[in-house]
Chain A
Amino acid sequence: MKKNIDVDYIANLARIKLEKKESSDFSSQLGDIISFVEKLNKVDTKDTPPTTHPLPLMNVFREDKVKESLPAEKALSNAPDKKYSFFKVPKVIEEA
């Protein structure tokens, strides 16, 4: 069964701007992909342990040791805009 996907909603969450045509194309394509993957739901997984990670690796740690950080100039070197040693961004404010 073909799924209907709310592409505009997803595009908004991902901050992607879509044209109307793109929106309907992607809706149909994403629907196809989901329907394809949904075939997996038919497989009996009663005795299959859930996969949490594709690698057979566990418990990788680092010790609590301080390493040198980047100098501020380096950290800021890709910033489109900066002020003093801060990244500068359009004002976002959570206020009442």
Chain B
Amino acid sequence: MREERYEAVMGLEVHVQLSTKSKIFCGCSTKFGAEANTKTCPVCLGLPGALPVLNREVLHRAIKVGLALDCRTAKMMKFDRKNYFYPDLPKDFQISQYDLPLAANGRLGILTDGKERTVRIKRVHLEEDAGKLIHMEDEDASLVDFNRTGMPLLEIVSEPDISSPEEAYDYLTQLKTILKYLEVSDCNMEEGSLRCDANISIRPKGQVELGVKTELKNMNTFKGVKNALQYEIKRQGEVLDEGGTIKQETRLWDEAKGRTSPMRTKEEAFDYRYFPEPDLVPFIIDKELVESIRKGLPELPRRRLERFIEDYKLPPAAASLLVNEKEVADYFEDAAGIYKKDAKVVANWITGDIQGELNKRSLSIKELGIKPNDLADMIKMIDEGSITGKIAKGLLADMVETKMNPRKIVESKGLLQIKDKGELDKILYEVIKANPKPVIDYKNGKVNVLTFLVGQVMKATKGKANPKMVNDLLRERMDKL
């Protein structure tokens, strides 16, 4: 098998848009979805004489990310010009960082197939985003919207420590989780606030020297990244098997066709001729600033996972599901703080039925609208015996629909559990009368028909009876027959 002959070496470049109010070097708004070219100014349009000035908040957020990724923050950083011609770049250069990036030498722990791995982070640097091109269908022209130029971007470059598409996927998921915890970006791939390119090469197993790599672009989802890498491993393997050589090139992923193809571009040589950006002064990042940002770091997912397992006695799988999304983890802690009896029960509801509702409706937990207090109330009602577990499941959907407290819903819909023996007895009588054959079977020793009869009672009560109680009563009654 080819997969066993070769091993893949991958590195990822992630661009994340920092969600500040204004752009990186000017006061234009970063709001998404504005009408084309209404969020520009002389600075981000690159008009002569305009001077860029760094947004302080951008630097602070970037330092935060660097620290969370265990990077060394630079004592001094500067900006450089990366020169190339493209119509989405009004100045014909991009302000980026070349030899003195903001942070370097970090790492990110990932868990793939139960195995822990560390991916080293090579560097984290700041740059400005370019504009957006729309290609016209009916004309040989492209339209440019410069609203996105000058949006603050952080580029996070990994070392080539990733050895499978699954690891790449986990790296991205973990990175996104951390960025969300840090509240520095909304990480919305659809709006382009999180983008990923990949470098990939393969080599015969055991070979130390790296193979020729290709760069993959145009993946719009994490799953797309995984699929593109899978495709590329196979493609490169086939080229080598046929005695060919891999060409160092940029390839575009086509999600619909499920394949990569070389990018056609007019720029034959990418020679960026970096040089220091004379319009921006260098930055000394002092220790006190870094330390104060470090102190303000939130609890990161790794640490939180450990705490959930230890403090709430959750199984690792459940804890990990909860921790993956900060909002969900916060929600769990709020609900578990109200329903203190058993955090595991709370976790089960969240990772089970609530997660199901979230997936079904593609909503975030905040949008779902079940307050932690309402979930706790619902669980308490099961404990008190006022509703059955079965009713609770349907009740959850009602809570989503009505945004009401479960007690109110149960009252108004009459879903309270039938605890009155007399009332239940009447229903049992009807069921026994209507099912003479199973009753005879039972009397003849076929005890398993009891399940059927319990089911009939549950149906008749619309799930409002306690199955165990029904079971016991049925037995009692039929034994007397």
Closest A residue, CB atoms, query B289 = A59
| Contacting residues, chain A, for B26 (C-beta < 8 A) | 67
In the assembled complex, the Cα of A72 lies from the Cα of B45 at a distance in Å of: 12
Asked if B29 is at the interface of the complex by the 8 Å CB criterion, the answer is yes
| Contacting residues, chain A, for B58 (C-beta < 8 A) | 64
With A52-B76, A61-B54, A69-B28 given, is the CB distance from A89 to B144 under 8 Å? Answer: yes
Asked if A94 is at the interface of the complex by the 8 Å CB criterion, the answer is yes
In the assembled complex, the Cα of A93 lies from the Cα of B39 at a distance in Å of: 24
The interface size of chain A toward B, counting residues with CB under 8 Å, comes to 40
In the complex, the answer to whether A88 meets B141 with C-beta atoms within 8 Å is: yes
Main secondary structure, interface of A, reads loop
In the complex, the answer to whether A53 meets B28 with C-beta atoms within 8 Å is: no
Produce 1/0 per residue, A57-78, CB < 8 A to B: 1111111111111111001100
Q: Name the contact of A96 in the complex, choosing from B20, B36, B85, B262 (C-beta under 8 A).
A: B262
Asked if B384 is at the interface of the complex by the 8 Å CB criterion, the answer is no
Asked if B352 is at the interface of the complex by the 8 Å CB criterion, the answer is no
| Contacting residues, chain B, for A58 (C-beta < 8 A) | 281-284
Closest A residue, CB atoms, query B78 = A52
Asked if A15 is at the interface of the complex by the 8 Å CB criterion, the answer is yes
Asked if A92 is at the interface of the complex by the 8 Å CB criterion, the answer is yes
Q: Chain A nearest CB: distance from B356 CB in Å? A: 39
Interface residues of B in 153-183 (CB under 8 A from A): none
With A58-B281, A70-B40, A89-B87 given, is the CB distance from A64 to B55 under 8 Å? Answer: yes
In the complex, the answer to whether A86 meets B282 with C-beta atoms within 8 Å is: no
Asked if A37 is at the interface of the complex by the 8 Å CB criterion, the answer is no
Q: Name the contact of A13 in the complex, choosing from B45, B134, B251, B269 (C-beta under 8 A).
A: B269
Q: Name the contact of A62 in the complex, choosing from B27, B39, B254 (C-beta under 8 A).
A: B27
Q: Chain B nearest CB: distance from A81 CB in Å? A: 8
Closest A residue, CB atoms, query B55 = A64
Asked if B57 is at the interface of the complex by the 8 Å CB criterion, the answer is yes
Q: Name the contact of B37 in the complex, choosing from A13, A55, A57, A75 (C-beta under 8 A).
A: A75
Closest 3 CB pairs of A and B: A67-B27, A96-B261, A86-B143
Binding site for B on A (CB under 8 A): 9, 13, 15, 52-55, 57-72, 75-76, 81, 83-96
Binding site for A on B (CB under 8 A): 20-22, 26-29, 35-42, 45, 53-59, 76, 78, 83, 85-87, 100, 133-136, 139-146, 251-252, 254, 260-266, 269, 271, 273, 276, 278, 280-284
List, sorted by A's number, 30 A–B pairs whose CB atoms are closer than 8 Å. A52-B78, A52-B100, A58-B283, A59-B284, A60-B53, A61-B59, A62-B54, A63-B56, A64-B56, A66-B21, A67-B26, A67-B41, A69-B40, A70-B40, A70-B42, A76-B37, A87-B143, A87-B144, A90-B142, A91-B135, A91-B136, A91-B139, A91-B141, A91-B142, A92-B87, A93-B135, A95-B252, A95-B263, A96-B261, A96-B263
